[in-house]
Chains A and B, each alone.
Chain A
């Protein structure tokens, strides 16, 4: 009997027995629907919710503290949480990367937000720093960079030389064409000008840097061997004596080769290197002005026209686009051109703001995150509502710009690139505050490696950070729930299979004459068995596909309900389910398998029917 013929006979039989076919598929549909629904939900929650908080192959560890009569003490000496510790952690088996995190060690206040909230908000500022490479993927996802690029590809790009030639919200890209701003790119190693005294040497500069001409700069020996390729070792212009340390400076041909806050400067020896653009504000108080234009400043030592900077005919130049003139302290009008410090916010912060702060303070709720990208506010370093302020010459005003949202960002504060926090900690608390870290994020090859890794670092005196611990607990719980529901669905399908066995036994009895006739006109036992197993197989595939459809429908309903009733939670996923074709196929295969198993005994009984007995009695 050919398969196609058998299939036609089977479809005919099913048509004859529609009712029993549908009845026996009900259990199967429920079983498969349960299976795919919960497995897809488990996978969806894992990837859509948990992995965004902490991917399964990342853990964050911090030194464990033990309380002895009210005094908490760290098990790992803070001084040991340095670059050597990173190297040691990296040396652990299964660890592929180590990302240190550093909290700010200085007091700061921030204010701003008039255009966002309706009035300027003020608050104490807490911040930490992390390696930008840790969050790049997440930032791009949250910013929906792919969609942005797709939209941009549909437009005819406009040629440009400078940002102000482009439409609002666009910048002049590297290829000389206007493009949408991709804010995530701004969260990168960002050199801010950290003032220092040359006499202090490297005591208040981050590792690798030393004070050179009043700012911390990459340090080099007389031979210049320690500079990166493309950089040369130079000593500050207009400086002589022992206090003037040489520093590394990258070589350039024109201003365009340098970061925006730098200009290409010809040195007396003829070499051209990038130097920070020095600038001056009309007066020191301009730093506190709410009009951002007031901080454009005037470049020192540069003119728009080709005259000497000292000449009265010099037409002043402002700090380049994307930068502002940051005074060296709150009391000085002189400083350097600087891009705002890029910061990330935690979605949790936004949720808390929307759910309680906004309503109790009568402020607007913030829908979505796009409105906040590129938003700038000011930070006053060394100043505090709580702690004693630092001397005025230590206080400085810096601009910050929101460039993204990350689950890894500080929940009550802002997160900056690690290098910025290191520079600031060094400036205010000395070298050691920049050399050591607070927590480490360890990345492993796969999920399986994590448990043994946790055990290992716990032996070293570390413990999981609260967030990481919660994420792991949630993942474990999710896994257990998924397993439990999968088990329940398998039980449902098992019951369905028993039901199918019963149905098929009845069918065999009902069709015994038919079977006898077929056998008499030439059907082999194998043909009879094939007909029954094929019918069961069709039932299984039917039940499986319908079960998947039911699960899919139920999941749409859940998504819709979530969208409808959980409004105001900006970072909740639109999609709680992850439908993997392997899961769907697995559901159908499972249903098929249980049907065939259920029909196995009846099919063999049918095949063994003796036609002579059936037909003559």
Chain B
């Protein structure tokens, strides 16, 4: 599902280069649940942006969901973000002026003409997804009137709306208390288990990371292999390429 080879990324601020990623290679198979850990500023978000096709300014090869992302046109990249990967952020990033339902439906705005159904079909689909995250009763609410956990669940519903293959979560529970954190995480786990969604979670919390089947660490701009049940297969896959 994810295959990174020798990814280098340097941020240049005021002519000073910051070599954040220094040869990251990583392979994640379909259906995996991977935790990405590392010190603050180690480049976790940077790596997630590269995987999620939000960042094109790097060297190395990145193959996501069987697609070489680099060099795609803006249109193709946008479509890739629309159909194949989905994001969940720490700050939820919902549009405050839209209702919960409209927030969930939003990815369909950018579908090709004729691809998305009519308003009724879209609303029905969104309601079904919201049902899955347990927020069916909040369809009309504005994000401002929701709790943090509810907001994140709306964000998850939005991420799920176009049935992506890969879910990228950047500290999804970073802004939540421990109780809510558990509930949201359980929801993500369920999606992985029941729908076979490949999940990559950035987290600082040890106990959360430990629930994942595999932990990957970034140290000094490179991925440090972490022993785990899936590692052998993933590494073998990477070696084959």
* B87 proximal to A (CB < 8 A): yes
Stretch at the interface among B76-84, B176-184, B231-239: B76-84
Contact between B49 and A522 (Cβ–Cβ < 8 Å)? Answer: no
* A525 proximal to B (CB < 8 A): yes
Given A517-B93, A517-B95, A616-B45, A523-B54 contact (CB < 8 Å): no
Q: Complex Cα distance A521/B111, Å?
A: 10
Contact between A1 and B110 (Cβ–Cβ < 8 Å)? Answer: yes
Residues of B within 8 A of A615 (CB): 54, 87, 89, 93
* A524 proximal to B (CB < 8 A): yes
* A520 proximal to B (CB < 8 A): yes
Q: Mark B184-214, 1 if CB is under 8 A from A, else 0.
A: 0000000000000000000000000000000
Least CB separation from B45: chain A residue: A616
* B6 proximal to A (CB < 8 A): no
* B97 proximal to A (CB < 8 A): yes
Given A611-B54, A616-B45, A520-B109 contact (CB < 8 Å): no
In the complex, what's the smallest C-beta–C-beta distance from B120 to chain A, in angstroms? 15
Additional pairs, 11, CB under 8 Å, beyond known A524-B74, A526-B74: A514-B95, A518-B106, A521-B87, A521-B110, A522-B78, A522-B110, A522-B111, A523-B110, A524-B78, A615-B54, A615-B89
A-B contact pairs, 9 of them (CB 8 A): A513-B93, A516-B93, A518-B106, A518-B109, A519-B54, A519-B78, A521-B81, A521-B107, A527-B78
Residues of B within 8 A of A221 (CB): none
In the complex, what's the smallest C-beta–C-beta distance from A514 to chain B, in angstroms? 6
Given A612-B55, A616-B45, A520-B110 contact (CB < 8 Å): no
Q: Complex Cα distance A522/B54, Å?
A: 10
Contact between B107 and A526 (Cβ–Cβ < 8 Å)? Answer: no
Task: Please report which residues of chain A, range 602-617, place their CB below 8 angstroms from some CB of chain B when the two chains form the complex.
Answer: 611-612, 615-616
Categorize the interface residue count of chain A.
Answer: 20 to 34
Q: Complex Cα distance A346/B82, Å?
A: 78
Given A518-B110, A521-B110, A526-B75, A612-B54 contact (CB < 8 Å): yes
**Chain A residues near B (Cβ < 8 Å):** 1-2, 5, 9, 12, 16, 513-514, 516-527, 611-612, 615-616
Q: Complex Cα distance A519/B56, Å?
A: 14
Contact between B109 and A5 (Cβ–Cβ < 8 Å)? Answer: yes
Determine which residue in B54, B87, B97, B98 has the highest number of CB atoms from chain A within 10 A of its CB, and name it.
B54
* B151 proximal to A (CB < 8 A): no
Least CB separation from A514: chain B residue: B95
In the complex, what's the smallest C-beta–C-beta distance from B65 to chain A, in angstroms? 15
Contact between B95 and A522 (Cβ–Cβ < 8 Å)? Answer: no
Residues of B within 8 A of A16 (CB): 97
Contact between A522 and B82 (Cβ–Cβ < 8 Å)? Answer: yes
In the complex, what's the smallest C-beta–C-beta distance from B2 to chain A, in angstroms? 17
Q: Complex Cα distance A527/B97, Å?
A: 19
Contact between A524 and B75 (Cβ–Cβ < 8 Å)? Answer: yes
Question: Which of B49, B79, B82, B106 contacts A612 (CB under 8 A)?
Answer: B49
The 3 closest A-B pairs by CB, nearest first: A522-B82, A524-B78, A522-B110
Least CB separation from A607: chain B residue: B74
* B113 proximal to A (CB < 8 A): yes
Contact between B45 and A527 (Cβ–Cβ < 8 Å)? Answer: no
Contact between A524 and B110 (Cβ–Cβ < 8 Å)? Answer: yes
Contact between B106 and A521 (Cβ–Cβ < 8 Å)? Answer: yes
* B3 proximal to A (CB < 8 A): no
Question: Which of B107, B110, B158, B162 contacts A527 (CB under 8 A)?
Answer: B110
* B170 proximal to A (CB < 8 A): yes
Determine which residue in B78, B86, B98 has the highest number of CB atoms from chain A within 10 A of its CB, and name it.
B78
Question: Which of A1, A516, A526 contacts B109 (CB under 8 A)?
Answer: A1
Q: Complex Cα distance A16/B98, Å?
A: 11
Q: Complex Cα distance A9/B98, Å?
A: 10
In the complex, what's the smallest C-beta–C-beta distance from B64 to chain A, in angstroms? 15
Least CB separation from B98: chain A residue: A12
Residues of A within 8 A of B109 (CB): 1, 5, 9, 518, 523
Residues of A within 8 A of B110 (CB): 1, 518, 521-524, 527
Q: Complex Cα distance A612/B52, Å?
A: 10
Q: Complex Cα distance A142/B93, Å?
A: 72
Residues of A within 8 A of B77 (CB): 524
Q: Complex Cα distance A514/B102, Å?
A: 14
Q: Complex Cα distance A518/B93, Å?
A: 10
Q: Complex Cα distance A579/B27, Å?
A: 71
Least CB separation from B81: chain A residue: A522
Q: Complex Cα distance A1/B110, Å?
A: 5
Contact between A520 and B87 (Cβ–Cβ < 8 Å)? Answer: yes
Least CB separation from B94: chain A residue: A517
Residues of A within 8 A of B95 (CB): 514, 517
Least CB separation from A13: chain B residue: B97
Q: Complex Cα distance A521/B110, Å?
A: 8
